[in-house]
Amino acid sequence: MSYLASKPRYEILDGLRGVAAIIVVAFHLFETYSTGPDEQILNHGYLAVDFFFVLSGFVIGYAYDDRWNRMSLKDFFKRRLVRLHPMLIMGTLTGTALFYHTCGGVSALVMQTEWWKLLLMTLLGCALLPSIKAWDIRGLGEMYPINGPMWSLFWEYIANILYGTLIRRFSTALLAIFVAFAALLTLDLTLNTDIFGLLEGRAYAANTVIGGWSLDTEQCYIGISRLLYPFFAGLLLSRVGKTISLRGGFWWCSLLVAILLCMPFIPGGEKARGHHSTAYTMPFAF
C-alpha cells in the first residue's frame, strides 16, 4: 500500500475546517435562544456544512484523481472507511452514553425511550444506517437521533460513493456541466422556486438551504441539493484551480469564512432572504 501513501496536506484547509467547525458549534449553541432562521445568532452558521462539503470535494480530487491507475475501487472505499468511520462510531457511542442526561430537555419522548430502542438506534448509527421518522426517539424526526449532526456524514458517504463509482470518470468539461446542474438545484432551494414540487412543507426554512437531516422526500431532496453543488464544485476546483501564495492567507481566508457564516439576516421578506442565501452559498465554491 506504499503507492497509496498520503500526499502532502494543505494545512490551510485543515485550519479553515477548524474555524468553520467552531462557528457551526456556536451556531447550534445559540440556536436555543432564537425563534427561527431570521433571528438566529450567527445567522448563516448552517452554511459551515456546505463549506465542509466544498473542502471534502477538493481534498478527494487532490488525493485520488491521479491514483486510479494504481488503486482499485475496493482500495478507495477502504481508505475512506478508515478515515471517516472511527469518528462516526465514537460520536454515536458518546451520544448513547449521554442520551438520557443531555436530551431530556428536547422532548418528553427521550425519557420514554426504552433501552432496546436506544440500543437499536446505536447499532444503526454505528453502521450509518438512517432511521425512519416512525422510529424517532428524540422528537425531531432525525436520521440519527443519537448523534444528530451525523446526517452530514451520511451525505458525505453518498458523495464518496458517487465519486468512486461514476463521477471520477467524468472529464473536466462534463464535471463542469454536472456542477452547473447542481447549482440549479441549489438555486431551487434558495429562491424557493420548487420546480419539482417537493418543498411544500418548508415554512420554517423557506428560501434557504437548511435541511437534509430527515428520511423523507423533501428532506432527502434538500440533502442531495446541499451535497451535489459544493462537493463536486470542490472536486472541479481541484482539477482546474491553481494554487497561489498569499502572505497571511489563512487569516484572510478565515476572516472571509467568518464573515459569510456570521453575516446577519437582512430584513426584506422571504424573497430577499432567498437572494441573500444565494449570495452566501455560491461563493463557498467559487
Distances (CA, A) of 179 to 56, 170, 173: 15, 11, 10
pLDDT, tens digit, 9 for 90 and up, residues 210-259? 899 999 999 999 999 999 999 999 999 999 976 667 788 889 889 988 88
pLDDT of residue 2: 47
- Give pLDDT < 50 ranges for the chain: 1-3
- Report the half-sphere exposure of 198 (CA within 13 A, side-chain side): 17
The secondary structure of 241-285 as a DSSP string is ------TTHHHHHHHHHHHHHHPPPPPSHHHHHHHHHHHHHGGGT
The residue ranges of every structural domain in the chain are 9-71+150-284
Residue pair 199/221 in contact (Cβ under 8 Å)? The answer is yes
Q: What angle do CA 194, 197, 199 make, to 5 degrees?
A: 65
